[in-house]
Structure 1
Amino acid sequence: MSPRRSDSRERMLRSTMTLLREYGASATTVDRVLADSGAPRGSVYHHFPGGRTQLVEEAVTLGGELMTGVIETLAESDDPVEAVDTFFTRWRERVRDSGYRSGCPIVAVAVEANDDAPQLARAAGDVFARWQQAFTGLLNRLGLSEERARRLATLIIAAEEGAVVMCRAQQSTVPMEDAASEIHDLLVDALATRPENGHIAGQ
């Protein structure tokens, strides 16, 4: 069993995730994390000997794990359309409830060059791959081919992440609602025309 994170370490990781969501990677500095978390300055290099890069990388990994858990729980549903609808609804509520300030910490890292810390882009890529795998598994399990399920999983994540950015820019949930509606209809059609079509809940 891995050791339990100390309170200050946990606070710093949570603060880093929050700052990444609201300000992006470049603006998420050690000083800002300390101010937000209230952690003592000496605890940074005690818990994160790799400094800011390690702190951001671990925050990306933690944020990815939390959302992966949500997606994997949704993916246990026998109704993939409802599961994906719920995924979009949760993101819509998160962005709206934050006053359109909160985005995705994974995207915040992925869109920056980070030439001096390529491991950050790799960490973000690994998170997206896990999300894609979870949705692929759900759609494949319910009758779509592996290739079609993978492509649709990619589209679901790309649509959601793009909609988050548009919602923040436009101060509106309409982009997320539009993306969710189109993905909903696409999934209904895809599942209705799959080989040996079976009953899908909610249809």
Structure 2
Amino acid sequence: MGTDSRERMVRSAAYLFRERGYSGTGFRDVIAHSGAPRGSIYHHFPGGKVQLAEEAVRYAGEFLNAGIEAAVEGGDAASAVDAFVGWWRGVLVKSEFRAGCPVVAVTVESHDDAPQLARAAAAAFARWQDTLATGLENAGASPDRAARLATLIVSAVEGATILCRAERDLRPLDAVVAELKDLARTAVD
């Protein structure tokens, strides 16, 4: 029962949360999707589903943040928007609009008995905002404006992703991206 099984289960949980949500994803689903041995999930996650979800949120947060960091490095202000949006566009299209953000899925289903899930989600959102803000500052935005705009980018793109899923169309995301890019460009003028 090595760490490979553990990592596969964390990735699988994040993947399944995107389409099924936190409540709609059980240990059996994660085992089947990951191909991990049955008993290994209890070995690796003695804290149960909450522990697995917390780690899946961290994984998803870091995964997306790595892409944002790579894209904003040395780019212009609009690149910060593109960095955050590009991945979501691919997820929506590939899943035929069934998948969204695993961090959002866990956030909206967080319960009072598992505050660590809300904290993990808040940390992922904050990390994305910090990375986007750094990219905007590097492009010439003031620190305050960069921070506000980064919060707007994360909020607007997450909201647009939900609209895309409802409408089964990329137009909401495209509209939000166009406006965010205009705002990002004015932030550095």
Residues 92-145 of structure 1: CA deviation (Å, up to 9, x unaligned)? 122111111110000001112321111001000000000000111112233222
Q: Which runs of 5+ in 1 are unaligned?
A: 193-203
Q: Secondary structure at the match of 2:112?
A: coil
Q: Which residue of 2 aligns with 1:201?
A: none
Amino acid at match of 1:93: G
Amino acid at match of 1:186: L
Deviating above 3 A after TM superposition, structure 1's stretches of 4 or more consecutive aligned residues are none
Is 1:101 the counterpart of 2:98? The answer is yes
Q: Which residue of 2 aligns with 1:134?
A: 131
Q: Which residue of 1 aligns with 2:33?
A: 36
Contact 2:134 2:146 in 1 (8 A): yes
Amino acid at match of 2:23: S
Contact 2:77 2:188 in 1 (8 A): no
Q: For 1:156-175, what aligned pairs fall within 5 Å after superposition?
A: 156-175=153-172
In 2, distance between residues paired with 1:90 and 1:14?
A: 16
Q: 1:57 to 1:66 in 2, by over 3 A?
A: same
Amino acid at match of 2:45: F
Q: Which residue of 2 aligns with 1:110?
A: 107
Q: Secondary structure at the match of 2:93?
A: helix
User: Which residue of the other structure, out of 40, 55, 70, is the alignment partner of 2:52?
Assistant: 55
Q: Which residue of 1 aligns with 2:4?
A: 7
Is 1:152 the counterpart of 2:144? The answer is no
| Range moving further from structure 2, 109-118 or 157-166 | 109-118
Q: Which residue of 1 aligns with 2:184?
A: 187
Q: Among the aligned pairs, what percent are the same residue?
A: 51
Q: TM-score, normalised by structure 1?
A: 0.87
Q: Which protein shows a greater Rg?
A: 1
Q: Which residue of 2 aligns with 1:178?
A: 175
Residues 157-192 of structure 1: CA deviation (Å, up to 9, x unaligned)? 111101111111110011110100111111122222
Q: Which residue of 2 aligns with 1:199?
A: none
Contact 1:77 1:83 in 2 (8 A): no
Amino acid at match of 1:184: K
Amino acid at match of 1:130: R
User: Which residue of the other structure, out of 71, 76, 84, is the alignment partner of 1:79?
Assistant: 76
In 1, distance between residues paired with 2:155 and 2:59?
A: 20
| Range moving further from structure 2, 115-124 or 78-87 | 78-87
Count residues in correspondence.
188
CA apart distance, 1:86: 4.1
Q: TM-score, normalised by structure 2?
A: 0.94
In 1, distance between residues paired with 2:87 and 2:40?
A: 34
CA apart distance, 1:24: 0.7
In 1, distance between residues paired with 2:51 and 2:23?
A: 14
RMSD: 1.4
